[in-house]
Amino acid sequence: AQRVTQPEKLLSVFKGAPVELKCNYSYSGSPELFWYVQYSRQRLQLLLRHISRESIKGFTADLNKGETSFHLKKPFAQEEDSAMYYCALIRGSTLGRLYFGRGTQLTVWP
């Protein structure tokens, strides 16, 4: 069963515009949610995790358990934000496997 859904394959915005990458999940327990990013010619890397409640490169993501969502947001997109973004979920147990969404390719136009 698909546990992580990213409804947008492609997302384009202009520089300076707000951006929101959507992520919904299906899991009844207490998941841990992450956003991973893959810039051109670089390896996939962790962007942020919901537990830390951090802001990385201006991005934030809030876990909404009621809506089972973990959308990634940035108020003012930059060209260097252009990348592939993956939402990921791990179940409560640290031995659990990681489930990835299908990814959203973000393009920020100048």
Distance in Å, CB of 58 to another protein, minimum: 21
Distance in Å, CB of 97 to another protein, minimum: 6
> Which of 5, 16, 13, 4 shows the shortest CA–CA distance to 106?
13
Name which of 28 and 42 has its Cβ closer to another protein.
42
**Contacts with another protein, residue ranges (CB under 8 A):** 6, 9, 32, 34, 36, 43-46, 49, 51, 86, 88, 90, 94-95, 97-98, 100-103
Task: Report DSSP letters for 53-96, one per residue.
Answer: T--BTTBEE--BTTTTB--EEESS--GGG-EEEEEEEE-SSTTS
Distance in Å, CB of 2 to another protein, minimum: 10
Distance in Å, CB of 44 to another protein, minimum: 4
Residue 15 burial (CB < 10 Å; 0-12/13-18/19+)?
middle
Q: Within 13 Å, how many C-alpha atoms sit on residue 38's CB side?
A: 11
Name which of 16 and 54 has its Cβ closer to another protein.
54
Beta strand 104-109 pairing with 10-14: parallel
Name which of 31 and 66 has its Cβ closer to another protein.
31
Name which of 2 and 55 has its Cβ closer to another protein.
2
